[in-house]
């Protein structure tokens, strides 16, 4: 047993979810391969059943017998008696159904999974600054009661500490030190060190026990992305990736071209980066100390690549050209282009058999694979503003939760698949980086450089939550 951010961890099999970029990790020892192939029958799709259009049709034709109450499907019907039906038997038991965690009990709820990203720390970096940031407080000193709402900060307010609301949600502590936007947060599995990259051209390493910044890595350029993949920590800079192997403490510089590295992901021994010029560069790991010198170029996007995720032997890339491209993970050939978004695709995430995408068009789209192998949109959820990043976790009852950061609206916590909001972090600054830790902990990074540590209290007594 050890403590992480003041929380006692009892298990040894917890894991972290993905990035942006659901970016990639796993939950407890029950993590499953993301985005598996499956069949979607359009006439019985749960997305159809939960969709707005279908709900309106039900409301207009309430005289028809055997209709299911739409509020019951969402777990919030208060009518007794209700003129619509409530029978459990009405819900399809298909293994491909998007089950509502609020109304259906399932012993094997599908875990939310993020694309795997691996980061590592380097002690050999000559730019390492060992000065500890003195303004950090010990953890839990700033924790407030779960669900207690703090004052909501205004945009550009000097008070950068975000407010929040939602049952069981509380702030643990702020971590101050960065002076510009946070672009990536990573907590390697089994580690008590939190890695944070920023546009202030630095990487800071925080001790999870003391809440202090114990190391600073300085760069010549802005940090465009930061991820943890297995034993590696990767930092995306301009025309290069800096990597540290956490086991060997060895530093590797991976050079490429195409401008800023906006997204990074890794699958087995293949490392991919999303570039500013719209090209995806791919390298193979040749050992614990090196990657192939020559990169393979994946071309097709006409705008910067903003998000990457691996799932079911496929690579998914979201771009500022408003599309998602699907690549075969073995051949690295583009096998499909997903259109539908009308804004930059800023984040993609694999969840069980589905792909979730978020965009500056204020929409979350859910994609599924049909019987003929094509990927099609099966559900759409509208949000209040531009979507920046996704993350996923499970509560103690095994219900999946989507963390979604939006412009001017902080981070929304949604139950899946219903997309019912269960809480929110409200910030006066845009939050573009999210990461999940064990036992209900998660981290947010805003445009001013503030990192906040949060805890979602686990109810129902279960194993610890973790994110990828």
Dump pLDDT digits (tens) for 17-58: 323 333 333 333 323 333 333 333 333 333 332 333 333 443
Residue 1 pLDDT class (50, 70, 90 cuts): very low
- What is the pLDDT of the chain when averaged over all its residues? 73
Percent of the chain surpassing pLDDT 90: 47
Q: What is the pLDDT of residues 266-322, one digit of tens each?
A: 998 999 999 999 999 999 988 878 898 888 999 999 999 999 999 988 999 999 999
Q: What's the CA gap between 215 and 389, in Å, rounded?
A: 26
Domain 163-456 falls in which CATH fold?
A: Methylamine Dehydrogenase; Chain H (2.130.10)
| Per-residue pLDDT, 319 | 98
Sequence ranges of the domains in the chain = 45-91, 163-456
Whole-model pTM: value is: 0.68
Q: What is the mean pLDDT of residues 392-405?
A: 89
| Per-residue pLDDT, 290 | 86
Q: What is the pLDDT of residues 314-358, one digit of tens each?
A: 999 999 999 999 999 999 999 999 999 999 999 999 988 899 999
């Amino acid at each position: 047993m050890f403590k992480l951010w003041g929380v006692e961890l009892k298990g040894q099999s917890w894991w972290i979810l993905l990035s942006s970029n659901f970016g990639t990790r796993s939950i407890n020892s029950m993590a499953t391969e993301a985005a598996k192939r499956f069949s979607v029958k359009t006439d019985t799709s749960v997305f159809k059943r939960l969709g707005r259009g279908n709900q309106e049709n039900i409301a207009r034709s309430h005289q028809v017998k055997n209709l299911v109450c739409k509020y019951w499907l969402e777990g919030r019907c208060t009518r007794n008696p209700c003129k619509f039906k409530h029978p459990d038997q009405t819900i399809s038991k298909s293994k491909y159904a998007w089950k509502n965690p609020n109304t259906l009990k399932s012993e094997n709820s599908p875990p939310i999974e993020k694309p795997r990203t691996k980061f590592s720390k380097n002690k050999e970096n000559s730019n390492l600054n060992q000065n500890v940031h003195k303004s950090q407080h010990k953890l839990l000193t700033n924790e407030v009661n779960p669900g207690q709402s703090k004052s909501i900060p205004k945009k550009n307010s000097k008070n950068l500490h975000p407010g929040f609301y939602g049952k069981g949600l509380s702030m643990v502590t702020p971590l101050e030190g960065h002076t510009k936007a946070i672009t990536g947060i990573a907590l390697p599995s089994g580690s008590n060190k939190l890695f944070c990259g920023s546009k202030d051209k630095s990487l800071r390493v925080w001790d999870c026990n003391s809440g202090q910044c114990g190391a600073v890595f300085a760069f010549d350029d802005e940090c465009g992305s930061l991820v943890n993949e297995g034993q590696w920590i990767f930092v995306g800079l301009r025309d290069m990736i800096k990597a540290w192997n956490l086991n060997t403490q060895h530093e590797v510089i991976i050079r490429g071209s195409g401008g800023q590295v906006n997204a990074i992901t890794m699958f087995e021994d293949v490392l991919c980066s999303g570039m500013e010029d719209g090209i995806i560069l791919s390298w193979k790991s040749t050992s614990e100390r090196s990657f192939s010198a020559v990169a393979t170029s994946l071309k097709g996007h006409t705008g910067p690549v903003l998000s990457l995720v691996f799932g079911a032997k496929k690579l998914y890339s979201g771009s500022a050209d408003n599309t998602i491209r699907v690549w075969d993970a073995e051949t690295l050939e583009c096998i499909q282009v997903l259109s539908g978004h009308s804004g930059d695709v800023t984040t993609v995430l694999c969840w069980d058999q589905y792909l979730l995408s978020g965009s500056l068009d204020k929409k979350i789209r859910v994609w599924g694979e049909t019987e003929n192998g094509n990927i099609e949109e099966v559900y759409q959820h509208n949000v209040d503003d531009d979507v920046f990043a996704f993350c996923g976790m499970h509560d103690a009852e095994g219900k999946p939760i989507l963390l979604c950061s939006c412009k001017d609206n902080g981070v929304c916590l949604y139950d899946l698949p219903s997309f019912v909001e269960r809480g929110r972090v409200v910030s006066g600054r845009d939050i573009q980086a999210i990461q999940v830790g064990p036992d209900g902990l998660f981290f947010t990074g805003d445009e001013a450089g503030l990192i906040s540590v949060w805890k979602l209290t686990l109810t129902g007594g279960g194993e610890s939550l973790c994110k990828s």
